[in-house]
Amino acid sequence: MSTDNGMDLTGKYLRELHQGANPSTHQHAKELRGRTTEAEQKLWALLRNRQLKGKKFRRQHAIAGYVADFYCHEAKLVIELDGNIHTTREAKAYDHSRTVLLKEMGITVLRFWNSELITDPAKVLQTISDCLMQIHFRNNT
């Protein structure tokens, strides 16, 4: 599909959706989709098919140079589920720098521990829902 000025709308949408992710990041995302954790499976079952506020979420989504566990392009919301590996100093620094970059791109990042989701999925969904409402109000005021 093209506009009068020749810009490919599909290409523009994909550039915005993935924020310039390179092919190796897309490949890594594909590999991660093939080996999901229990917590990721549980959250995906709750988010897929627009079950939460009618929003479309993608799992293991390539964005910029990273792979987000879950991403809602419409709300510019990334959801990350963290396991024990995220307790190391190196992982914390990496997560922080990634969050800073995503925020600079106008993307909100929510982080939950895997154990949080397993033990209290309703609380996690409520937090995500509240965040979606805040984003909606912020974008429509």
Q: Is 79 exposed, middle or buried (0-12, 13-18, 19+ CB in 10 A)?
A: buried
Q: Is residue 115 part of a domain?
A: yes
Task: Give the mean model confidence (pLDDT) for residues 13-30.
Answer: 61
pLDDT level of residue 9 (50, 70, 90 thresholds): very low
Q: Is residue 6's pLDDT more than 90? A: no
On whether residue 39 sits in a domain, the answer given is yes
Structural domains of the chain, count: 1
Sign of the alpha-carbon dihedral angle for 25, 64, 125, 117: positive
Q: Which helix (H) or strand (E) holds 110?
A: strand 108-113
In a domain, 114, yes or no: yes
Which amino acid makes up residue 100? V
pLDDT tens-digit map of 62-103:
888 888 999 999 999 999 999 877 778 888 898 999 899 999
Residue 41 sits in a domain of what CATH number?
A: 3.40.960.10
Question: What is the residue range of 86's domain?
Answer: 9-139
pLDDT at 132 over 60: yes
Q: pLDDT band for 8, please (50, 70, 90 cuts).
A: low
DSSP H or E stretch at residue 62: strand 58-63
- 2 in any annotated domain: no
Asked if the structure places residue 1 within a domain, the reply is no
Query: Does a structural domain hold residue 4?
Result: no
Backbone angles phi, psi at 124, to 5 degrees: -65, -45
Burial class (CB in 10 A: 0-12, 13-18, 19+), 69: buried
